[in-house]
Structure 1
Amino acid sequence: MNLSEIETFLTIVNTKSISRTADLLFLSQPTVSHRLTSLENELGFPLVVRNKGYKQVELTPKGTDFIVIAERWMSLWKETLELKRNQETLLLKIGCTDSLNIAVFAPLYDKLLQDHTRLDLNIQSHHSSELYGLLGEHNIDIGLVYHKLHYKNIITEKLFEEKLYLIQSAAPSVPSAKVHTDELDPSTELFLSWDDNFQIWHDRWFSSVSRPHIAADTITLLDRLWKKEENWMIAPVSVISELSRYRPLFISELKNPPPARICYKIRHRYPKTTSKHAVEFFEHALEEFLKTPFPSFTFGEVWSPAENR
């Protein structure tokens, strides 16, 4: 087996298409087919079912079983390359959602860099579902997500959960400590889908014919676009704390609250040996970091940046 054959097979697994694999790897379709056949000859069993007229590639049972071995083979190859570079510093690749990076873990990253001068960080922001794929291919060493998905080689561990509240400007349209969603105007909402459970809850309580004033996928963008006094948002505690550093907020509980948002740590069942020490540094620092509780708010009052310093 060689690198090109394994890479070609794993790309076929992801694309389920010979032509799409050829496009992604900048190869001709006959070259892709030759590599696949060569790998099958070396293994002594077929990896794909060859049905004429079918555009989508289907794996044989042994082909499905071979995916795990192929992924480990690629991982070992990447580790070998890293060892050859003989770097004196450690590199940790962290994958995280945007809101977690900005509102929760930025201080942790800062402390890690201060405490471990030999540690370099590669921090990537992606959606939770994308992070599982990146971790499965060893493109990140550890992930922090808001979705619990089931992947064969990924271990998921719950870290914490946080409640969501209503936030308005310092001159709120609904100045109450407790508010029902029926009292809110959907046309002035600032919306970010925090996780699947929140999306389901939101779809239930807000009419499908109405739409938010602004929908985005980063809290930084929503903060920059929050210009109107009548705008409001439903957000988790960590995000509220982050936004309140820059603007006064009127915080209310919801009479029909959304489910709490749960954060998970994900790691590969077969981690890279080259990142072992860096991951250990991170997990120890993470454990200590999470001992500090989230801030508590007084509902029905304005929470100002001065109070949050």
Structure 2
Amino acid sequence: MNNLGIEAFLSVVHHGSLTDAANSLYLSQSTLSHRLAQLEREVGMTLIDRGRGMRTLSLTSDGQEFLTIAKRWSDLVHETTQIRTRKQNMTLSIGSVDSIQNYVLPPVFELLTTHSKKIDIRIRTQQSSELYLLLERGEIDIAFSHLEQPMPNMIIKKFYSEKMVVISKGKLLSNGKILKDKELDTSYQLYFDWNTSFKAWYDGWIGDRNYPTVHLDTAQLLLTFMDNDKKWAIIPLSMAKKLESTGEFLIYYLEDPPPERVCYQIRSRNPRASAVESLKLLDNCINSVII
């Protein structure tokens, strides 16, 4: 595959039209179309649906599958270029679940980016199971997850733990902050399946009450679904404090709380050479700001 064709394909996916993609690459539309056609001949598949009357372009089913390969190809070309040109910048690719990335790691990222040495940082947000796959394929150097999945070629260690609390926009108690089990109506709960220990606790805690009808898998969705004062969720304290700081949310504590949420740091036993020093710097930043 040629790099120009991959670049053209990814630009079309990003912009949704040949015109915008061509402009972004400073090419004529005919040149961009030629590169795409050449790429399709090389891979033997039609990647982009060019149906008449379509205001925006869409990927064919083959194009959807090829997109993952194209992104990986682009990343490999970028890394190869760094080696070939002997860049002195350190590199670091970080993967994390969003509740850790958005509510635990920001001060670490801030400290890391102010370091005197230039680091080429890439950050990806994925589900826990996907992070292990990315580490195995060498697409990321380190991951932060709330899932412990022992693997022989990985180093897994606990780096942070925190209480689980209840968050709501409404006043769930007339006074005080400690909630008893039966004081919470589970029909208004927004449920997160944080990890296996949380689920085991929850199955016993809920008793004969109804299971929640809304299950969420990303922390940001809470802002969308928490649309009235009766709704509530059980979330990590770091996330709850961030929401409380907006002035819209209140934090409560359960009389029979869940186990603390444990965050794990996972990395390969044989990291990329260009990431070794960056990983050491990341460790120093974590030790400085994570208590």
8 Å Cα contact 2:170/2:230 also seen in 1: no
8 Å Cα contact 1:168/1:251 also seen in 2: yes
8 Å Cα contact 2:186/2:209 also seen in 1: no
Partner in structure 1 of residue 150 of structure 2: 150
- CA shift for structure 1 position 143: 1.1
More deviation in 154-163 or 78-87? 78-87
- Structure 1 unaligned segments of length 5 or more: list them: 1-25, 28-76, 292-309
Partner in structure 1 of residue 199 of structure 2: 199
- Deviation digits for residues 237-292 of structure 1, max 9, x if unmatched? 1111111122343322212211111111111111111111211111111111113x
Q: Which runs of 4+ in 1 moved over 6 A?
A: 77-81
Counterpart-to-counterpart distance in 2, 1:174 and 1:93: 47
Q: Note closer, same or farther for the CA distance 1:118–1:185 as it changes in structure 2 (3 Å cut).
A: same
8 Å Cα contact 2:154/2:269 also seen in 1: yes
Partner in structure 1 of residue 188 of structure 2: 188
Counterpart-to-counterpart distance in 2, 1:259 and 1:166: 13
More deviation in 197-206 or 164-173? 164-173
The reply to whether residue 212 of structure 1 matches residue 209 of structure 2 is: no
Partner in structure 2 of residue 177 of structure 1: 177
Residue type of the alignment partner of 2:191:
F
How does the TM-score come out when normalised to structure 1? 0.64
SS of the equivalent of 1:219 reads coil
8 Å Cα contact 1:174/1:184 also seen in 2: no
Q: Note closer, same or farther for the CA distance 1:184–1:174 as it changes in structure 2 (3 Å cut).
A: farther
**Following superposition of structure 1 onto structure 2, how do residues 294-309 of structure 1 map, counting pairs within 5 Å?**
none
Counterpart-to-counterpart distance in 2, 1:288 and 1:180: 37
- CA shift for structure 1 position 82: 4.5
More deviation in 165-174 or 182-191? 165-174
Q: Note closer, same or farther for the CA distance 1:85–1:136 as it changes in structure 2 (3 Å cut).
A: farther
Partner in structure 1 of residue 11 of structure 2: none
8 Å Cα contact 2:103/2:242 also seen in 1: yes
Counterpart-to-counterpart distance in 2, 1:124 and 1:80: 20
Q: Note closer, same or farther for the CA distance 1:145–1:160 as it changes in structure 2 (3 Å cut).
A: same
Counterpart-to-counterpart distance in 1, 2:271 and 2:79: 10
- Structure 2 unaligned segments of length 5 or more: list them: 1-42, 45-76
Aligned residues: 219
SS of the equivalent of 2:112 reads helix
Counterpart-to-counterpart distance in 1, 2:208 and 2:121: 42
Partner in structure 2 of residue 243 of structure 1: 243
Residue type of the alignment partner of 2:205:
W
Residue type of the alignment partner of 2:96:
C
8 Å Cα contact 1:164/1:235 also seen in 2: yes
SS of the equivalent of 2:120 reads strand
Counterpart-to-counterpart distance in 1, 2:249 and 2:174: 13
Residue type of the alignment partner of 2:165:
Y
> Once superposed, what is the RMSD of the aligned Cα atoms?
2.7
SS of the equivalent of 2:229 reads coil
Task: Report % sequence identity.
Answer: 28
